[in-house]
Chain A
Amino acid sequence: MNNAVWTLLQPRLIDAANGFRSRASGIRRLLFLLVGLVFWIGAFLIFYRVLAYFESVQDFGDILAIKLLSMMMLTFFTLLLFSSIINSLSHLYLSRDLSLVHSLPVSVRDIFWARWLGSAFDSSWMVIAFSLPVILSYGWVFQAGPGFYLAAVGAVLCLCLIAAGISSLIVLCGAALLPAGKIRTLFVILGVLLALLLVLVLRLIRPEQLVNPDSFASAVLYLNSMQALDRPWLPTTWITDVMRLSLKGKWGLSGFNLALAASCFLFLLFLNDTLARLLYFRGFSRSQTTAKRLFAPLMYRGISWEFPLGFLSRPARAVAVKEIRSFFRDSTQWPQLFLICALIVVYLYNFSVLPLDRTPISSVYLQNVFSFLNVGLAAFVLSAIAARFVFPAVSTEGEAFWIIQAAPVALKTFLWIKFFLYAIPLLILSEILIVASNLLLGVTSLMMIVSVVTIFCLVPAIVALAVGLGARFPDFKSENPALSATSFGGVLFMLLSFGLIALVIILEAGPVYKIFMARISGHGFSFWTILWLILSFAFALLLCVFAVFFPMKAGEKHLLAK
């Protein structure tokens, strides 16, 4: 790395070092460390158990373990491509400091590589962090030596760098080809493509077939399907092979695959270097021209889309319209919206392929257990969506927050407008998810009512928690408020939200089971049982009510004192 690239990386490194040194962040670091540790240990234990089970299956065990590895590498690679493209676009073309950086007496090539390194790091660290417990569990279960760990870490690094190399090539070409002022459109195009890619990849690997070898006519067909995605030209195949072969101690072949991956990365570096010299500044210069609106105003016979908001008070409608406009005009939101749509499709599809009829347990019982677990799962999905979109809702006001502070609108009103703006669509989305998945499962009417009512109580609680904590820990100076989901406040929200969901599910599990079994057996309830049922449901409801009002109040208090 030459001096100029190193110098260009300095502000970022110093910023990180200063953040690390600051005393105020001590508790935050501890919380992150704790969450990271719990996550790592949890991931390790899950993989260890799964792999240990696979190893115990004669003949097929090893194949299943490698198939799982190959599926994971393919998923990692898709995620890496997705996040690298988004990061490259921001780091190379849209960051606020780019005007300053391009005015400095350094070559465009140096700027490109400094930004590329930042982008590659940002898009890869999470995948690397997650892959470590996976690698450890494989090494542990298959009793691998230190050589395996070295090879596996090298392979994952190559996977990240290849994804970063491919992504920057796509972004370089896209920025050069798109008309000036339309570079943000790239987000929309990529969003659609990535959503399709995700659905395609998940359907290609068909994870449900792993648990159903009977559906294949013969063992040969089953084995063939296991190899289906291991195309020799896919980088994920080389990476899987590096690990697979080093697990078996075949160092020569493992090294060959690692060399293949490394040479692919080096070739991508060369291509990036050549194209960056030719295209980067041209694309950057075009991205600096006036931003164009993505879509024309939506009107039908003179009636605007704002018409349904007519029942709101004028200040409330003003904030609501502003929020909706700003959200949909921010093209960085689009890929994630498309991705959510893709995930919902996959989520619902998975319920339709659950092999409930092939289990030894009573299918009615299992359907209803799944339905109950589905409430928790849907609420967890909702928490993740809230962390990404609702938690940053106050921070997205950015430096323009003075407008709200100076306006004759109480901060309380402002926060409640934000709450309703997100609570209503998320409630509709969650109820659709729950009802659709319950219909696919064919659950009893009791479970349908329990699921619908539980989600109806949980959604406002989760949204209020997100809005309230977002107001308690706002970041009005952030260049990308969406990133606040990974801040201290964002992590705290996830923890509290998961805690709330778990508590509500635990409080309801016993009573629901009791009612369900009583219906099957036709027994009645004693007085104490009825009291227990009422208290459990009432406490769950109280928790949700508390989660709605307390964080909102805390957020308002903090904003007022700011």
Chain B
Amino acid sequence: MIELHDLTKDYKTTLAVDRLNLHVRAGEIYGFIGPNGAGKTTTIRMMGGIIEPTSGAISIGGIDLRKDPVAAKKMIGFVPDRPFLYEKLTGSEFLRFIADLYAVAPRTAARRAEELLRQFALWNWGNEIIESYSHGMKQRLIIAAALLHDPKVMIIDEPMVGLDPEAVRQVRDILKELAKQNVTVFVSTHTLSLAEDLCDRIGVISKGTLLAEGTVAELNRAAKTGNAGLEDVFLTLVREG
């Protein structure tokens, strides 16, 4: 469902992503972990069509993101690492805006918006301007917006930042449920326990290069760390990488 082929992003002063190759199957939850500045957010932003790769290709559901960005983006639900939104719109208005952009049928959009606002405990705040929302509320609203058009692929950068424990559990359950419905989830995170619990496979990136990928057991074999937890595997791989 997601394919990255020799994906590279060179900012001239920094080589953020260096010939990255990945393949994520439909219905899979793929975790993307790495130290600060490893190239996770750059990769995710390229996959979301927000920045252009210097070279290489991204394919979403068989559609080349460079050749047909509009068709590819229709399949994606994108959640960035920081919840920047249109502060002067209300939560409901923002969801309607997203529904219009993604051409969700008006009736479906209205029903889904209500469901999602209730699900993310934002129903009572739906008519308040986003400016007055807390960080966590904005994060929940962005996740709700990303789910509104029933995407085939979810690309999420640091999904749990700013969320309270209840919302963290809720998001985790939603992502698992989405995977069951054959939605592909690509999630970047620093919360290794979340990655370990949630992801079918994990990719470790450092200095723009993929060091290893696979299940926790496969990563343990690659790092030669026996039966260690993901934290030890991660630290070993990054140190040696």
Residues of A within 8 A of B (CB): 290-293, 314-315, 317-319, 321-322, 325-326, 329-330, 398-400, 402-403, 405-410, 560-562
Contacts and interface: CB of A to CB of B under 8 A. Distances in A.
B49 A405 contact: yes
Contacts of B73: 406-408
A325 B100 contact: no
Nearest to A297: B127
Contact of B101 (A325, A329, A407): A407
Classify chain B's interface size.
Answer: 35 or more
Contacts, number: 86
A406 B48 contact: yes
Contacts of B222: none
Nearest to A314: B100
Contacts of B51: 562
B10 to A, nearest CB: 13
Nearest to A317: B100
B78 A406 contact: yes
A399 B88 CA distance: 13
Contacts of B97: 318, 321-322
Contact of B89 (A317, A326, A409, A561): A326
Contacts of B128: 290, 293
B80 A326 contact: no
B80 A318 contact: no
Interface string B52-93: 100000000000000001110110101010101111111001
Contact of B86 (A400, A405, A561, A562): A400
Given A291-B131, A329-B129, A410-B70, A403 B86 contact: yes
Given A315-B100, A408-B70, A409-B70, A329 B88 contact: yes
B133 to A, nearest CB: 9
Determine which residue in B51, B88, B129 has the highest number of CB atoms from chain A within 10 A of its CB, and name it: B88
B102 A408 contact: yes
Given A400-B85, A403-B86, A318 B100 contact: yes
Given A317-B100, A402-B50, 5 more contacts: A293-B129, A318-B101, A403-B98, A408-B71, A408-B101
A291 B86 contact: no
B103 interface: yes
A314 B101 CA distance: 7
A560 B86 contact: no
B108 interface: no
Interface in B163-191: none
Q: Report, nearest first, the 3 A-B pairs whose CB atoms are least far apart.
A: A318-B100, A399-B84, A290-B132
Chain A's interface: helix, strand, loop or mixed, by majority? helix
B82 to A, nearest CB: 7
A270 to B, nearest CB: 36
15 contacts: A291-B129, A314-B100, A315-B101, A399-B84, A402-B48, A403-B98, A406-B48, A406-B80, A407-B102, A408-B69, A408-B73, A408-B74, A408-B101, A408-B103, A562-B51
Nearest to B129: A293
A409 B97 CA distance: 12
A321 B88 CA distance: 12
A291 B51 CA distance: 33
A322 B86 contact: yes
A321 B90 CA distance: 12
B49 A406 contact: yes
B86 A314 contact: no
Nearest to A410: B70
Nearest to B104: A314
Contacts of B87: 326, 400
Contact of A405 (B50, B88, B99): B50
Nearest to A326: B88
Contact of A291 (B70, B82, B132): B132
A71 to B, nearest CB: 39
Contacts of A402: 45, 48, 50, 78, 80, 84
Contact of B88 (A315, A330, A561): A330
A325 B78 contact: no
Nearest to B146: A406
Nearest to A330: B88
A561 B11 CA distance: 12
Interface in B85-124: 85-90, 93, 96-103
A315 B103 contact: yes
A288 B138 CA distance: 17
A424 B84 CA distance: 29
Nearest to B103: A314
B89 A322 contact: yes
B95 to A, nearest CB: 11
A405 B129 contact: no
Determine which residue in A292, A403, A406, A562 has the highest number of CB atoms from chain B within 10 A of its CB, and name it: A406
A400 B97 CA distance: 13
B43 to A, nearest CB: 14
Contact of B85 (A319, A403, A405): A403
Interface in B13-63: 45, 48-52
B45 to A, nearest CB: 8
B84 to A, nearest CB: 4
B78 A398 contact: no
A405 B48 CA distance: 8
A399 B73 CA distance: 19
B84 A398 contact: yes
B84 A406 contact: no
Nearest to B68: A408
Contacts of A319: 101
A293 B129 CA distance: 7
B124 to A, nearest CB: 13
A102 to B, nearest CB: 19
Contacts of B96: 318
Contacts of A398: 84
Determine which residue in A314, A322, A408 has the highest number of CB atoms from chain B within 10 A of its CB, and name it: A408
Contact of A560 (B52, B88, B89, B100): B52
B50 A325 contact: no
A507 B24 CA distance: 61
A264 B90 CA distance: 46
Nearest to A327: B88
Contacts of A317: 100
A400 B101 CA distance: 15
A329 B88 CA distance: 6
A326 B86 contact: yes
A316 B69 CA distance: 17
A405 B45 CA distance: 10
Contacts of A325: 88-89, 93
A406 B50 contact: yes
Contacts of B86: 322, 326, 400, 403
A286 to B, nearest CB: 14
B4 to A, nearest CB: 17
